[in-house]
Amino acid sequence: MAHLYESADEAQLQQDASSSLLTYGTKFHPEIITHAKGNYIYASSGHRMLDWTSGQMSCLIGHGNPEIVDTITKHAASLDHLFSGMLSPPVISLAKRLTSLTPRGLDKAFFLSTGGESNEAAIRLAKFYTRKYEIVGLNASWHGMTGGAIAAQYKTGRSGYGPVVPGNFALPAPNEYRSIFRHPDGSYDWKTELDYGFSLIDRQSTGSLAAVIVEPILSSGGMHPLPPGYLKALRAHCDQRGMLLITDEAQTGIGRAGDMFAFTHDGDGTVPDILTLSKTLGNGLPLSAVVTSNQIAAFAKENDFMFYTTHVNDPLPAAVGDKVLEIVVRDNLAAHSRELGKILRAGLLHLQSRYGCIGDVRGRGLMQGIEIVADRTTKEPALEVGDRIGERVGELGLWVQLGTMQTFSGVFRIAPPITSTEEELREGLEIMERAFAETEGSMPLYSVSGGEELVRASL
């Protein structure tokens, strides 16, 4: 079947892009992407790449999913956008389905467009409910580009724009690979690190601590999962100070990391006061959610909490989110992600055993990362090596993002659609093996004699 842009003139498009598009914080990919289907994306040249970032970590169940396409088509024709105070069946259905999946204490939801917007609303709700204004984040976090969200974000985007919203503090982000907080045996002492972080915040606070906002896996911060027990300990710190706990599951939610919601992974019953979802909920469409307790929801209603936007509770994206949840539950995709994650991790650990530039492998489910270093002992970053590997991976037919911002060294962030097959995972791993083998600086840990062809162990 022909696709929409099969006759695209790449040279003209590149010229038009250069003359008319404003840049916004990233280099544009050198190819013009004209088609996406399933787990693959296609350039105007015909170059095909297996998509291991799910778009912008969003196409949870693949590009052009037929059920999603059908849902969009039907609702675009009959129920697309309404006055913000009107209710529609898709919005009610999504709210009911979502809150049937969340633990007790996450009882009521409303729906917005982007992750930044949902985090902005969550922070605003926390301030409104507690009547306090100070927000604590992790120092390698990413929560969005709106005023309150970016003030609680420390990954990047703070320099050069003047003062942020006052009253924001940073905790050290958990980083088992690089943290200086260690037990005598060398293992990671995250508890002391967390306690020390709060001791510094207590000295800076004016006594108005409202909430902590965290990602269960710091994706932009280098694919670092929170250590087991961390959320429970964080909850205790919040309770001691009368703070709310907000979990931002833009990337980790809806089965991506092997659990329907990543905050449940430890199984210790820790439930946030506010949960935000985005990216994965809309499978690439702009849809986000704020979910909170009956108690907070009642207070918000009685005291006229306001977060009123043009696209609040829009029916078309809500219908898509409802269908995404239906598919993930019906097809048991959280468990599928968990099982495929074991294969992915084994493949990445196999690569680490063969190439000295891979310093660390981490993550859960189909949300994992590998950190590229120049030396495993010193852990010195090897950004140029990572760039070369990333370029070669793309040439060979795999799209995977390399993060190189200052908060961490080069980390490949891997997040394929959770509808991926075992065969597609192995295809991607084989491409990565070839790219590492062919890239100068990857530091092979095996010997290849003379002209002997590299023999790859089975993945």
Pairing of strands 134-138, 168-171: parallel
Pairing of strands 411-414, 367-372: antiparallel
255 HSE (CA, 13 A, CB side): 28
Amino acid, single-letter form, for residue 223: M
Q: Which of 53, 408, 358 is nearest to 221 (CA)?
A: 408
- Catalytic residue (choose from 251, 259, 368, 424): 251
- Catalytic residue (choose from 51, 120, 193, 215): 215
- Catalytic residue (choose from 51, 189, 193, 248): 248
Is residue 251 among the annotated active site residues? yes
Q: In whole angstroms, what is the distance from residue 442 CA to residue 355 CA? A: 6
Is residue 342 among the annotated active site residues? no
Place of tokens 């909170």: 292
Is residue 392 among the annotated active site residues? no
Q: In whole angstroms, what is the distance from residue 309 CA to residue 145 CA? A: 16
Q: In whole angstroms, what is the distance from residue 4 CA to residue 23 CA? A: 25
- Catalytic residue (choose from 108, 338, 388, 413): 413
Measuring CA to CA, how many Å separate 229 from each of 52, 226, 268, 270, 275?
29, 8, 8, 9, 18
Is residue 142 among the annotated active site residues? yes
Is residue 426 among the annotated active site residues? no
Contact 139, 173 (CB under 8 A): yes
Is residue 153 among the annotated active site residues? no
- Catalytic residue (choose from 52, 142, 190, 399): 142
- Catalytic residue (choose from 127, 235, 256, 279): 279
Q: Which residues does the annotation mark as catalytic? A: 142, 215, 248, 251, 279, 413
